[in-house]
């Protein structure tokens, strides 16, 4: 089929790569406009924009999908179907109606669970044992369209959001290609989502990533993993904002929530239950480092509180 692909960040790259290698023709790519980055604030294309340019595929970067000029450009391409993975912009009904086979969205959850912008962090934070990826027909509602297919993926106790998203992006790319193959062959059917088990995962802000040390250790562990690497769980401290990497459980029960205890090899922090052992952290203006190495330089006083 002649298709267009809409996507923006790195997790969408495996899908575009798989489609470029498939039997389908990627006639154009739609992505967010180049954004300023680095000290010079120079403009850089999105990961999807950069891949499309290197592959010689025309790139559209509308400021708004409601722009009439964008609708005209898309209609002129005459796509038979469209694929979308983490594009980052809502597509209005007139745009959804252009391809005859509609828009196929790859979403990183087992719909109807965790509809919305951050399904992978939500699944880890909730303590889910299993997650997955779904392909569904995009419609005006938030991730409500009928589902073509899904894959499952276990969540390990040490998985960060980055680890899990990498695996889902790769496996989901194969699912997306298989779905488009089925549409072209007339062998795939979209089934309505269940009315049971619906949940939502909104966009995560930096303010949302502030740790609450009064939570149980299990919740602290899940929260940090769910926010790693982006935007990064953080806590206030006498040294400024510390961004924390994954932590480990301990059996210490004598540290109150937020109390920091630094030994020669371990840096512990109290929670609402047992203390956790800090792994890596990033202090203001510094690169990520082992927590014990940081403590040897910072020399925290006994009784120091974080939070």
125-146 pLDDT, tens per residue?
Answer: 999 999 999 999 999 899 999 9
Q: In the structure, what pLDDT confidence band is assigned to residue 192 with cuts at 50, 70 and 90?
A: very high
pTM of the model: 0.93
- Over residues 232-259, the pLDDT tens digits come to 999 999 999 999 998 999 999 999 999 9
The owner of tokens 């950069």 is 50
Task: Among 201, 221, 248, identify where a domain stops.
Answer: 201
Q: What angle do CA 162, 116, 170 make, to 5 degrees?
A: 40
Report the sign of the C-alpha dihedral through residues 31, 37, 40, 41, in that order.
positive
Q: Is 112 annotated as a binding residue?
A: yes
d(C-alpha 195, C-alpha 197), whole Å: 7
**Length of the chain, please?**
307
Regarding whether 210 and 197 lie in a shared domain, the answer is no
CATH number of domain containing 240: 3.10.25.10
> Residue 298 sits in which domain range?
206-305
Regarding whether 229 and 174 lie in a shared domain, the answer is no
Regarding whether 164 and 129 lie in a shared domain, the answer is yes
Regarding whether 138 and 119 lie in a shared domain, the answer is yes
Regarding whether 179 and 131 lie in a shared domain, the answer is yes
- Over residues 41-95, the pLDDT tens digits come to 888 999 999 999 999 999 999 999 999 999 999 999 999 999 999 999 889 999 9
Q: Is 110 annotated as a binding residue?
A: yes
Regarding whether 228 and 148 lie in a shared domain, the answer is no
Regarding whether 229 and 184 lie in a shared domain, the answer is no
């Amino acid at each position: 089929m002649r298709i267009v692909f809409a996507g923006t960040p790195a997790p969408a790259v495996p899908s575009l790569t798989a489609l470029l290698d498939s039997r389908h023709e990627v006639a154009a790519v739609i992505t967010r406009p180049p954004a300023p980055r680095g000290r010079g604030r120079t403009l850089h294309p999105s990961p999807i924009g950069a891949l499309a340019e290197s592959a010689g595929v025309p790139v559209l970067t509308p400021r708004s999908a409601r722009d009439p000029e964008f609708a005209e450009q898309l209609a002129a391409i005459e796509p038979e179907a469209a694929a979308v993975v983490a594009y980052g912009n809502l597509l209005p009904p007139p745009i959804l109606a252009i391809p005859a086979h509609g828009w196929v969205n790859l979403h990183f959850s087992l719909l109807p669970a965790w509809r919305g912008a951050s399904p992978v962090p939500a699944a880890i934070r909730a303590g889910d044992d299993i997650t997955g990826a779904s392909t569904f027909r995009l419609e005006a509602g938030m991730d409500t369209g009928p589902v073509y297919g899904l894959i499952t993926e276990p969540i390990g106790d040490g998985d960060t959001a980055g680890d899990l998203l990498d695996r889902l992006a790769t496996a989901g790319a194969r699912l997306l290609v298989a779905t488009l193959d089925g549409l072209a062959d007339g062998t795939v059917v979209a089934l309505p989502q269940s009315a049971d088990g619906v949940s939502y995962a909104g966009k995560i802000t930096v303010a949302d990533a502030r740790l609450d040390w009064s939570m149980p250790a299990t919740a602290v562990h899940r929260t940090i993993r769910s926010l790693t690497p982006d935007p990064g769980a953080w806590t206030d401290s006498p040294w400024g904002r510390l961004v924390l990497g994954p932590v480990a459980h301990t059996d210490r029960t004598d540290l109150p929530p937020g109390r920091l205890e630094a030994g020669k090899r371990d840096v512990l922090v109290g929670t609402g239950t047992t203390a956790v052992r800090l792994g890596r952290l990033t202090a203001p203006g510094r690169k990520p480092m082992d927590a014990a190495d940081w403590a040897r330089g910072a020399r925290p006083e006994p009784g120091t509180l974080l939070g």
